Amino acid sequence: MTVPIGLGIGRLVFRALNAAEALFAVIIMVALAAGSLPVRVVVPLAVAVAVLAAQMLLVRPRLSRRSNAVLAGQDAPPRAPWR
């Protein structure tokens, strides 16, 4: 498998996964708003929604920029493990 094919497949998979996660997040937020759930349920659900939001707003755009650069034939700089 070539890098462009792998990146294309990865994009499709992550786009579908993010769509499913976003749908579940909306369902969770509606459930939280509609009922009075105990704190032991609300906190983990709120953390899960916050992590998804961070992933979609912070991580995914960086990955998209990097994969766009690779697909355009540019040499992407090596990724540091802490970034």
Residue 42 domain-assigned? yes
Beta strands in the chain (DSSP E): none
- Please compute the mean of the pLDDT values over residues 32-42 and round it to a whole number: 85
Paired tokens of 38: 């105990």
Number of domains into which the chain is organized: 1
Structure confidence at residue 78 (pLDDT): 67
pTM to 2 decimal places: 0.71
79 pLDDT more than 80: no
Residue 59 domain-assigned? yes
Distance, in Å, from the CA atom of 38 to the CA atom of 16, rounded to the nearest integer, reads 31
- Please compute the mean of the pLDDT values over residues 6-14 and round it to a whole number: 89
> Rounded to whole angstroms, what are the CA distances from 9 to 5, 13, 15, 36, 71?
6, 6, 10, 41, 13
Paired tokens of 23: 């749908």
Residue 61 domain-assigned? yes
